[in-house]
Amino acid sequence: MPTLVKDRSGIFFVVYTVNGKRIWKSSKTKNKNEAAKLMWQKPTAECWEQQQVIQTALSIKLCREQYLAYVETNFSPKTYRIYTDFTKRFIEFIGDIPAESVTTLQLEQYKVKRSKEVTAVSINTELRCIKAFFNALMKWEIIHKNPCLKLSPLKVIPKIPEYLTPQNLSILSESIQERWLKNIVVFTAMTGLRLGEVVHLDWNDVNLEQRTILVHSNSDFQVKGGGIRTVPLNDTALSVLLEIKADKGTVFKGQKGGSVKGNYVSRRFREEIRKHKQGSKLHFHSLRHTFASLLVKNGVSLYQVQKLLGHTTPRVTQIYAHLQNDEMHSLVDKIIMC
């Protein structure tokens, strides 16, 4: 099936595949509708002469523009920003070369360079994004192979997540003077919601009678993984909502009654942590770790915690397995020598 590809000058090319080879023909127009009229015309021998022209036009920068347009249409604004940053950094490293000519060796060299600048986790995230970029180019028949296929991720040493003890959480809550921030901190620690899920929570998704909230994507926000989950409210979380006394719009407002941004909430939380010397490694996401850790330490299974947190796989929830010590003792105590 022929497709349309726009080069950096804005001219559309009609791309055919004949006998396993791609043929490129310039439409000589920047008007997509006019170019589309040529899509169903049978390619002639002169089309083969366009091959070298389009290979030059389809540099990796041009492919990036096409790909980012696709990401912006199909994914969340946050995902779009991530792919924009990562692909830009990679292209600055290798230069504006034809997308087809990118090699696995260049990716390995990029991995070495980034290993001196960021953590292994960050590098692996970048590589996954770059791999997705090249997968899309393969799908669109712009390149023949993905240079990332033989690329191995860096080994990551699992880290035990930082979290607040019930005592420290209580101290922190009492010390926060701004009521709006205190409500967000307490509610997050009692529900395990992600920061974006908290600041985008709408009253339409709150059921006070059933003591539940519905977490899902909407036109302004996309839940990580795209799933839908129902989170039950304990007494503390419910009391926060009852205190706010509102019934429409976003649940959590700022000091002056307006909406709050996630970055601002995160920064204010870090300021409170530093002010009361709770722990230099704690950040807003630590409240989600606090929720999960307290559940596991109180005997809740990892499977149930996975569902409450909205993890798509149990692998992520395994970081809390070390907190099951009491349960593990009861299991090994069943072994008795005769």
Residues 6 or more apart whose CB falls under 8 angstroms from that of 43 comprise: 16, 18, 23, 25
Q: Spell 177-190 as b/e; 16+ CB within 10 A means b.
A: eeebbbbbbbbbbb
Report field, pTM of the whole predicted structure over 0.85: no
Question: What is the pLDDT, as a whole number, of residue 52?
Answer: 44
Question: What is the pLDDT, as a whole number, of residue 20?
Answer: 56
Taking the CA atoms of residue 243, residue 248, residue 253 and residue 257 in that order, the dihedral angle to the nearest 10 degrees is -100
d(CA 313, CA 77) in angstroms, rounded, equals 24
Please say whether the beta carbons of 177 and 273 come within 8 A: no
Question: What is the pLDDT, as a whole number, of residue 1?
Answer: 55
CATH number of 166-326: 1.10.443.10
Task: Output the tens digit of pLDDT for each of the chain's 338 residues.
Answer: 567 777 766 777 777 665 555 666 777 788 877 777 666 565 554 544 444 444 444 788 888 988 998 888 888 788 899 999 999 999 999 998 888 889 999 999 999 999 999 999 899 999 999 999 999 998 888 888 899 998 998 888 777 788 888 899 998 899 899 999 999 999 999 999 999 999 999 999 999 999 999 999 887 888 887 788 899 999 999 999 999 877 788 999 888 778 889 899 999 999 988 887 666 688 999 998 998 888 888 888 888 888 888 887 877 777 777 676 665 666 566 666 66
Say how many C-beta atoms besides its own lie within 10 A of residue 57's C-beta.
Answer: 19
Residues 6 or more apart whose CB falls under 8 angstroms from that of 162 comprise: 279, 281, 282, 283, 286, 289
d(CA 112, CA 106) in angstroms, rounded, equals 10
Question: How many CA atoms are closer than 13 Å to the CA of 81, on its beta-carbon side?
Answer: 3
Annotated domain spans of the chain: 3-57, 60-139, 166-326
d(CA 206, CA 98) in angstroms, rounded, equals 51
Q: Name which of 234, 214, 210 is nearest 298 in CA terms.
A: 234
Please say whether the beta carbons of 228 and 220 come within 8 A: no
d(CA 93, CA 97) in angstroms, rounded, equals 11
Give me 148's structure tokens. 């990332």
Question: What is the pLDDT, as a whole number, of residue 24?
Answer: 67
Question: What is the pLDDT, as a whole number, of residue 331?
Answer: 58
